[in-house]
Chain A
Amino acid sequence: MNYRTTLAALAASVALPLSAFATELEVTHWWTSGGESAAVAEFAKAFEAGGDTWIDGAIAGGGGTARPIMISRIIGGEPMGATQFNTGRQAEELIEAGLMLDLTDLAEAEGWADFVNPTKLLDACTVDGRIYCVPVNIHSAQWIWMSHAAFEAAGTDVPANWDEFVAAGPALREAGIVPLAMGQQSWQTNLAFGTLAVALTSSEDWEAVNIDKDADVARSPAYTRVFEAFDTARKLSVGSDVNDWNQATNMVITGTAAAQIHGDWAQGEFQVAGQVAGVDYTCLPGLGYNEVLDTGGDAFYFPTNDDPEITAAQLRLASLMISPEVQVSFNLKKGSLPVRGDIDMSSANDCMQKGLEILASGAILPSGVQLFTEDTNNQFNDLMTAFWNDHSITVAEVQAGYADIVANAD
């Protein structure tokens, strides 16, 4: 008798969640900093308002740690309901292997192609004419963030471009402030290099290296200038030993460091800390020279599933993520630009408005994730972090190494 009731209770506990109206969907992502979790909570709130259940699968440690876990789960046959990747080539092979849900019908029904801006974002989701992901935001890497308090303490004006910043370096050091904050993870050094490259080379040279993979241009004096600036940057960052990017941003927020070259997701941290753009901190796109932004960002992919209820819930989530209201609420918290050109972002702050203007003017570039495979990007990461930390590596050596990787990129 007792045995039977237990059995019945067990059966009920298994059957109930299945028969209930709400569908549980596990969503994996690597958004764990203060600003990021505030933003992802907007997705969860909107999804649960529709009666479904959002199971948060945040993976700490950044994309480099999270992506292998996500990919292993998908390949290993234990797919989550939805997962973040960067907009680009990271999920290419998973799509080719048929492991991702085809969203083309939904995209056509809702007319994504009409409102997604820039339209290239959808290209990054498209394989053989079919759409496999929902871009949710645009993030660009070409920014420098500067603390007003730090420059005040050093007695200099807040710089308007990279060279002014370099000139302020000695004064900052005297005031006991680290001029440039940098997290120790290798992708951050590579991001800083990429930003310097965009800011300090002509767009022809940049495109020759990054799009046509022309190693000769990478060896040319035009690029030597970038590596020299990068060499200056590593000297300015001596004393910055933090690991995660948000710890580096926090150094700028608290004024122990004067500046950070980082993507616009840093903005979410300033916001959580209650700082105001233009008052407490300044942002310069393209380091004050070349006001161009890349259109990297995040996209959500939905691994294929046998359960039709989960598939239906996946489509509901996909539709919701790109809907106008969620785009506004999510991107305001995240500090990123929306993927829709048809929504009102007037409540965005100074820095985001700068970004929106550049986006509207069409001065955009593809991001590293879209241009190179993860293999190549990691080779860049390794090279840049080795150079950054080992001051015995010369500018000529790192440039030669860089050109070799470009030459062998696939």
Chain B
Amino acid sequence: MAHTKRPSQLFRNMAAKIAAIPMIFTTLVVFVGCTGWTVVYSFTKSKMLPKKIFETTELFSIPTPSWLSDGSLDFSYISGIATKNFVGLAQYERLWNSDRWLLSIENIAIYGICSLVFTFVFGFILAALLDQKIRFENTFRTIFLYPFALSFIVTGLVWQWILNKDHGLQQVVRDMGFENFNFNPIYDADIVMYGILIAGLWQGTGLIMCLMLAGLRGIDEDIWKAARIDGIPMWKTYIYIVIPMMKPIFATTLVLIASGIVKLYDLVVAQTSGGPGLASEVPAKYVYDLMFASQNLGQGLAASTMMLTFVIVVVIIIPSIIRAFGGKKNHV
């Protein structure tokens, strides 16, 4: 009896569902819709303005003699019109043949790997040090976190000045008597990405440190006591007990750092504008430059679609792999 009276799943809790409609609508239009639009138009030869994929006006003027005579339908004719703006994978072909794009990928890989490793290591070490119940912990935490409050543009400019070879760090050290001191990463094409990395680490490590610190504080005090009673050295406690327990925090920081890597743009613009030459170009800058400066929307969208693919891999696939592995261990 209760079974027959039970309302359909779809209509349960109507008020909540109606309330969610704007959210669902926004998600579909703003996120999925715009992303879809980006992908679709990356197959067109859109220049400054997006070009229609199908020129409908010409599709209407169909009365062609070929249609009547051979009866093979006008399939070839329609595709002839469609290719007016539809260029298939041509934008991707150009993209992956472009030296600048390949260099951008290489640069983001260097920056990404270093940034990931160093932010993790420094963030964790700083957090572990702060966790030793030291004096002025709040002061230190604030100091480390402050750079994060700055925009990337400001960070980039500050580090551009610090690394300026005529009146920055290099000159200061030289003035102190070390005439041969050389440290000018942002003027040297081979190491310019590390110059940007320094600024990126300076800005980003504080936040990661705070997250790790929160994670460390979440570890039960009794575990430390038990380890101490068992006579386990502190470093072993960290590596074998504490770190495995902090997996959720690591997953969060991983996603934060990874998204910071993919969107690297303003730091480069402020610090080097992609120079010297093209040595510090990054994918996001390629997208912007192609879309706006070069007025080649199709090419820019193709590049941003590739970035999207990368994000899908990093943000969705990698965490799910980690989860799969983590899940196994939990069952043991």
Contacts and interface: CB of A to CB of B under 8 A. Distances in A.
Interface of A: 64, 67-68, 71-72, 75, 90, 92-94, 97, 184-185, 241, 243, 373-375, 378-379, 382, 385-390, 401
A347 B74 CA distance: 69
B292 A388 contact: no
A67 B288 CA distance: 13
B189 interface: yes
Given A93-B48, A94-B48, A389 B100 contact: no
Nearest to B103: A386
B278 A385 contact: yes
B275 A378 contact: no
A243 B276 CA distance: 10
A375 B47 contact: yes
A120 to B, nearest CB: 23
Given A67-B293, A71-B292, A93-B49, A382 B100 contact: yes
Query: Interface size for chain B: under 10, 10 to 19, 20 to 34, or 35 or more residues?
Result: 20 to 34
Interface in B164-217: 165-166, 187, 189
Contact of A185 (B100, B273, B279): B273
B295 A374 contact: yes
B294 interface: yes
Given A185-B273, A386-B277, A72 B292 contact: yes
Contact of A68 (B47, B165, B279, B293): B293
B100 A374 contact: no
Contacts of A68: 292-293
Contact of A184 (B47, B275, B295, B299): B275
Contacts of A385: 275, 277-278
A241 B49 contact: no
B289 interface: yes
B276 A375 contact: no
17 contacts: A67-B293, A71-B48, A71-B292, A75-B49, A93-B49, A185-B273, A241-B166, A373-B47, A375-B47, A375-B296, A378-B289, A378-B294, A385-B277, A387-B277, A388-B277, A389-B276, A390-B279
B55 interface: no
B243 to A, nearest CB: 42
B137 interface: no
A71 B293 CA distance: 10
A378 B277 contact: no
A389 B279 contact: yes
Contacts of A241: 165-166, 187
Contacts of A94: 48
Interface of B: 47-49, 99-100, 165-166, 187, 189, 273, 275-279, 289-290, 292-296, 299
B96 to A, nearest CB: 14
B75 to A, nearest CB: 28
A71 B187 CA distance: 32
Most B Cβ at <10 Å: residue of A75, A373, A382, A390: A382
A401 B97 CA distance: 11
A378 B189 contact: no
Most A Cβ at <10 Å: residue of B48, B49, B276, B290: B48
A67 B293 CA distance: 7
A68 B295 CA distance: 8
Contacts of A375: 47, 290, 294-296, 299
A382 B279 CA distance: 11
Contacts of A67: 292-293
A389 B48 contact: no
Contacts of B293: 64, 67-68, 374, 378
A140 B59 CA distance: 46
A387 B277 CA distance: 7
Nearest to A91: B48
Most B Cβ at <10 Å: residue of A90, A94, A385: A385
Contacts of A72: 292
Contacts of A90: 295
A379 B295 CA distance: 12
Contacts of A388: 277
Contacts of A374: 293-296
A92 B166 CA distance: 43
A352 B279 CA distance: 38
Contacts of B48: 71, 75, 92-94
B160 to A, nearest CB: 10
A71 B279 CA distance: 28
Given A375-B290, A382-B99, A390-B277, 12 more contacts: A67-B292, A71-B292, A71-B295, A90-B295, A97-B49, A241-B166, A374-B293, A375-B295, A378-B294, A382-B278, A386-B278, A387-B277
B99 A386 contact: yes
A20 to B, nearest CB: 36
Contacts of B275: 184, 385, 389
Contacts of B273: 184-185, 243
Top 6 A-B pairs ranked by shortest CB distance? A389-B277, A68-B292, A93-B48, A378-B294, A389-B276, A375-B294
Most B Cβ at <10 Å: residue of A93, A386, A387: A386
A184 B276 contact: yes
A382 B290 CA distance: 12
Nearest to A94: B48
Most A Cβ at <10 Å: residue of B47, B187, B275, B295: B295
A44 to B, nearest CB: 28
Nearest to B269: A65
Contacts of A71: 48, 292, 295
A97 B47 CA distance: 12
Most B Cβ at <10 Å: residue of A71, A92, A94, A375: A375
Nearest to B164: A241
A386 B102 CA distance: 13
Given A71-B48, A375-B47, A378-B289, A93 B295 contact: yes
A75 B48 CA distance: 10
Contacts of B290: 375, 378
Nearest to A378: B294
Nearest to A374: B295
Contacts of B296: 374-375
Contacts of A184: 273, 275-276
A93 B51 CA distance: 11
A401 B99 contact: yes
Nearest to A75: B49
A90 B293 CA distance: 10
